[in-house]
């Protein structure tokens, strides 16, 4: 084969690879996607989100978590919003999603958008925009949210169970989970920083307090003083009590989470796991510059928001976010 033909074949291969990468990294999304079809769309999302966060600031971490859970199952397609049907159990019913909150915010935004420009703005875009606006409302960073996502028509509880990384994952499992979504180790440690806001229910971490290895012991990787403090709040079989993930600053988007983790006070096993990898441990230990964390967080959120998106003629624009058309 001639060298010219080899070069030609190589270039074709490179172009095909670039096309594939483009599709998996959000091809079809763009800034101001609704500029002509619904010019006030992003302003409406920001206004309605802000109104809800002002009344209930705890909805900010809830909306951010909803975005994460949506993107990790079938991509950022709004499938987390769908109700179950007579034949299938939706993602909402899966164990990781039973404590999701903020659906009323998404519905309120959708209702307002339908009044303004019916059938134009997707529920998937609403989740992505609302998560960003909620974080900004409580003092966190802003990031670009290119739009143009379309809504998926399938939502399965089984897929939520198999795709959302649980709080008991070790570092190897976490890296595998994030890698499967096109996210790297830096994205893993940076996005974990979202635990700086919000709360968790006791069952998400009580295994670390009472019976870690089946011998009635506690997780030795957790600060014993923190274990004692948590035991006062969470008794065995307590399914209702909530605990701050970043005690003292759980309503402020800052670097407090990394301070807690390096003190061996990360609430989840998945938090403690960050100290088991050279790269993630280094990031945790050296995290002291809030501006740098904000910058990194913005980059990783943009990447996450492009996971497996539906664009163009794929999917649909739901009229009601909990129901397929």
Q: Specify the length of the chain in residues.
A: 325
Tell me the two tokens of residue 177: 């989970």
CB of 309 closer than 8 Å to CB of 111: no
Q: Using alpha carbons, select from 167, 124, 32, 170 the residue that is nearest to residue 315.
A: 124
Buried b / exposed e over 30-41, threshold 16 CB at 10 Å, is: eeebbeeebeeb
- Which of 297, 312, 308, 299 is closest to 78 using CA atoms? 308
To which H or E segment does residue 172 belong? helix 171-179
- The Cα 72–Cα 92 span in angstroms is 13
Phi/psi of residue 216, nearest 5 degrees: 75, 20
CA-closest candidate to residue 199, choices 251, 262, 134, 253: 251
Task: Take residue 18 and report the two structure tokens written for it.
Answer: 């670039």
Residues with catalytic roles: 69
Tell me how far apart the alpha carbons of residues 46 and 143 are, in angstroms, rounded to a whole number.
Answer: 13
Running DSSP on this structure, what letter comes out for residue 214?
Answer: S
């Amino acid at each position: 084969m001639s060298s010219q033909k080899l070069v030609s074949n190589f270039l074709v291969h490179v172009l095909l690879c670039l096309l594939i990468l483009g599709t998996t990294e959000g091809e079809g999304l763009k800034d101001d996607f609704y500029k002509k079809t619904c010019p006030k769309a992003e302003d409406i999302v920001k206004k309605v989100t802000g109104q809800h966060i002002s009344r209930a600031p705890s909805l900010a971490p809830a909306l951010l978590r909803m975005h994460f859970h949506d993107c990790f199952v079938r991509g950022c397609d709004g499938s987390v919003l769908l109700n179950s049907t007579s034949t299938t159990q939706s993602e909402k019913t899966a164990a990781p999603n039973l404590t999701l909150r903020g659906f009323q915010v998404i519905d309120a935004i959708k209702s307002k958008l339908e009044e303004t420009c019916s059938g134009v703005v997707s529920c998937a875009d609403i989740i992505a925009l609302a998560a960003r606006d909620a974080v900004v409302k409580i003092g966190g960073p802003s990031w670009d949210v290119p739009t143009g996502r379309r809504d998926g028509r399938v939502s399965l509880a089984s897929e939520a169970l198999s795709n959302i990384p649980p709080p008991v994952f070790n570092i190897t499992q976490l890296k595998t989970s994030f890698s499967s979504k096109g996210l790297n180790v830096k994205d893993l440690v940076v996005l974990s920083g979202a635990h700086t806001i919000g709360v968790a229910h006791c069952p998400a971490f009580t295994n670390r307090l009472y019976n870690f290895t089946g011998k009635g012991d506690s997780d030795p990787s957790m600060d014993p003083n923190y274990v004692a403090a948590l035991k006062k709040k969470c008794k065995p079989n307590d399914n209702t009590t909530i605990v701050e993930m970043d005690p003292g600053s759980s309503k402020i988007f800052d670097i407090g989470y990394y301070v807690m983790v390096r003190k061996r006070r990360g609430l989840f096993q998945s938090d403690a796991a960050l100290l088991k990898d050279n790269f993630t441990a280094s990031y945790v230990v050296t995290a002291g510059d809030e501006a740098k964390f904000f910058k990194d967080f913005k980059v990783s959120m943009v990447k996450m928001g492009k996971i497996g998106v539906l664009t163009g003629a794929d999917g649909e624009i739901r009229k009601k976010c909990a129901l397929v058309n």
